[in-house]
Chains A and B, each alone.
Chain A
Amino acid sequence: MDASQDLIVARPEGLYCPPGDFYIDPWRPVERAIITHAHADHARFGHASYLAAEAGVGVLLSRLPSINLQGIPYGERVVVNGVAVSLHPAGHVLGSAQVRVEHAGRVWVASGDYKVEPDPTCAPFEPVRCDTFITESTFGLPIYRWEPSRAVFDGIDSWWRHNAAQGRASVLFCYSFGKAQRILAGVDREIGPIFCHGAVEPLNRAYREAGVDLPPTRLVSDIAARDKTAFKGALIVAPPSAQGSAWMRRFGDYSDAFASGWMRLRGTRRRRGLDRGFVLSDHADWPGLQTAIGATGAQRVIVTHGQIEPMVRWLREQGLEAAAFMTEYGDDAMEADAVGAVGLAGDNLAQVPGVADDAGQIYEPHLPHVFRNTPAQTQADEAPPSPKATSR
């Protein structure tokens, strides 16, 4: 195929649509950016204008305040330099979208991150017919196969209930945006009080403002650090980077767990040194990826991040034209869904300072960039005060 005909190409700044002159989830500053969802590896500061799904405007602004943002409803068509653009639910997190691009009789869809499983906190994934489908492949190996999420929540509930009966706190690590709210919406809110880390609570607020039903939650920092009784029997939702930090001391006797798709593998779970691991992902599992790709009817598939090589080879063997784009997506998923998928990332996370900051500031610690060649930002750049300084 003649690459000059491609509707979306990879540029150093990000995925680029030449006829429309816009970027999708660019990682370097550009004029016009279409954002699939508000996770940090897809939505970054520095672009002159942003376009995103209306449903995700609240969360996007809570993470990137005062950007020049236009929100459009799912399915609504806007024309950018003669290219018809519409956004369709990706089922990944609140406001996540696939970008459908149509020009001169060709249709391309860039999916961002997606899952096909139902999730009460966001609109369900919508298959969109296209000629070329740009897909993620975070869990693109046949070993990744999710249980129905109800079974996972039952597991979380019984773990929490058991701890509560023992007078212990239950600390559940998960990504603060998306996963945390999905868990809050899914657990049995009658078991006990729920507290959230300062990185999670602002997202809860954005979700509630968007009309998502979440149980009442309180900030951990609202409780005096010496008061260890307040957390007995409570569920505490915190980002994985809080594990092993001084921030944890306030909970006294607690059991800890991690909710992530990576917990599917026993080795990964055991290396984390947690009491429990719950297999819950906001990405499609192997059957989900196959279903989603098949439903687009696309003859050409481009894989952006995750298990790129096996997925490309597999799709080729299925008779599709498959290739890969080098992108900078997936870093966030490391922290996100993830940690422990790469040993290095897991190790470093435990040492990222600043997670003790739960004073309401949104803070997602940036990993040292495992996959990238760009110089790693020093942690001091963005780290709030060290755990010592904030532990009272």
Chain B
Amino acid sequence: MKRFAALYTALDGTTSTKEKLEALIAYFSAAEPEDAAWASYFLSGGKPRQSVPTRLLTEFARERAGLPEWLFDESYQAVGDLAETIAHILPPAQRMSELGLAQWIEGRVLTLRGLEPVELRTRLLGYWDELDWSERFLLTKLIGGGFRVGVARQLVVRALAEVAGVDHKRIAQRMVGWTDSRQAPGAARYLRLIAPESTQDDNAATPHESDLGLPYPFFLAHPLQTDPATLGVPSDWIIEWKWDGIRAQLVKRDGRVWLWSRGEDLITDRFPELATLGAALADGTVVDGEILAWEPDDDAPLDFEPGASDRARIIDLLGPTPLLLDDLIRMADAPPAIVRTVLLELELAGRLERHGGGLVSLI
């Protein structure tokens, strides 16, 4: 728990992507697999269910701090976050805990559900008294079910790839469904996540599940450095229009569809329409191209490239507080396609966090 809290503090304390990545790598290099399993689960958006009702959490914390209800409310108003308020008002801890994250989660947090208030009270007051400020904040977040951390999933993927010595595309693939609540994180699953790439023999027999959807290296265009005449006659060439769309690769294999960005991040769930279309392709088809939006019957794509003012306006509306996509589109007064493009740019730059229920915030 200490190590995970230190990681959380480091991630929370910096806006630099590079420093966040360094902190993640340092954590995953040192953490026990069972702890790393839970950490990667939480960091990539997995959320535990609320195990103690908010009303009881508040009541126990108030009682421990000796505060009247109105003063707790005033404090909460000033902080704006329940777990943080609780962490601030509790008196300093009397003891220390050396339990790891997995022990805390499996042995303590998940077992709280459904307990009688009397038992909950004893356990919570005891737990709080073993933890420093940042650990209490985390524990209360985890118990209250509202845990989230300001780190993009791509960054977690990159850190794990670095630690595992495995290509990050493969890690990204292995992590598809990682936060599925039907599968509990555990050491064995984590070790499979960071396992070395399969050897060629393995591939020949049954391709590793995670190898299945991998894209080809993107074929990049470069400006011609020599005289165009050196290329020969134009009739030997096929000329393809360059649009200002989003470069992507659509992979259809084994009845499944993957969409990869130019930076080789999985963006399938960002374009559900394309995933549906891709399902109609024959297995083994890979399309490398640009994502564009067309109105039916138009002879040119929609203006998909956000203007500088659109971008500035949209970024301006975003902040650390999660905002509903619909509200963002309405307030930005820009076409949804433009808003989506800007959000995708931000996401690929590691600056956007997506929450459930169509909420987004800046990191």
Contact = CB atoms under 8 A, between A and B. Distances in A.
B88 A143 contact: yes
B312 interface: no
Contacts of A275: 13-16, 19
Interface stretch (A244-252, A265-273, A292-300): A265-273
Interface stretch (B65-73, B109-117, B221-229, B337-345): B65-73
A270 B362 CA distance: 11
Contacts of B202: none
Contacts of B67: 142
Contact of A266 (B12, B65, B71): B12
Nearest to A310: B74
A145 B88 contact: yes
B88 A142 contact: yes
B80 interface: yes
Interface in B169-210: none
A277 interface: yes
B15 A267 contact: no
Nearest to A317: B68
A265 B70 CA distance: 20
A141 B78 contact: yes
Nearest to A287: B91
Given A141-B78, A143-B79, A144-B88, A314 B71 contact: yes
B320 A271 contact: yes
B77 to A, nearest CB: 9
A267 B80 CA distance: 8
A113 B295 CA distance: 65
Interface residues of A, number: 21
A143 B14 contact: no
Contacts of B14: 275-276
B71 A310 contact: yes
B84 interface: yes
A275 B15 CA distance: 6
Name the prevailing secondary structure of the A interface residues: mixed
Given A266-B84, A276-B14, A310-B74, A142 B89 contact: yes
A11 interface: no
B65 A142 contact: yes
Contacts of B85: 143
Given A141-B74, A142-B89, A310-B74, A267 B79 contact: yes
A313 interface: yes
A228 B79 CA distance: 39
A313 B70 contact: yes
B71 A267 contact: no
A276 B65 contact: no
A273 B80 CA distance: 18
Contact of B71 (A142, A264, A271, A276): A142
Interface in B49-100: 65, 67-68, 70-71, 74-75, 78-81, 84-85, 88-89, 92
A291 to B, nearest CB: 14
A275 B65 CA distance: 32
Contact of B75 (A142, A270, A271, A313): A142
Given A266-B81, A267-B79, A277 B13 contact: yes
Q: Considering residues B19, B74, B320, which has the most beta carbons from chain A within 10 angstroms of its beta carbon?
A: B74
Nearest to A145: B88
B18 to A, nearest CB: 10
Nearest to B137: A266
Contact of A264 (B65, B80, B88): B88
B75 A143 contact: yes
Contacts of A142: 65, 67, 71, 75, 88-89
Contacts of B81: 266-267
Nearest to B132: A147
B213 to A, nearest CB: 36
A277 B75 CA distance: 20
Contacts of A145: 88-89, 92
Most buried by B among A264, A266, A273, A313: A266
Given A271-B320, A275-B14, A141 B84 contact: no
Contacts of B75: 141-143
B85 to A, nearest CB: 6
A273 B15 contact: yes
A288 B255 CA distance: 66
B32 to A, nearest CB: 25
Given A142-B89, A144-B88, A145-B88, A265 B16 contact: no
Contacts of A265: 78-79, 84
Nearest to A286: B89
Given A267-B320, A271-B320, A143 B78 contact: yes
A190 to B, nearest CB: 24
Nearest to A272: B15
5 contacts: A142-B89, A145-B89, A255-B16, A266-B84, A273-B15
Given A145-B92, A277-B13, 7 more contacts: A142-B67, A142-B71, A142-B89, A265-B84, A274-B15, A313-B71, A314-B68
A-B residue pairs, 7 tightest by C-beta? A143-B88, A143-B75, A142-B89, A310-B74, A270-B320, A141-B75, A267-B80
Interface of A: 141-145, 255, 264-267, 270-271, 273-277, 310, 313-314, 317
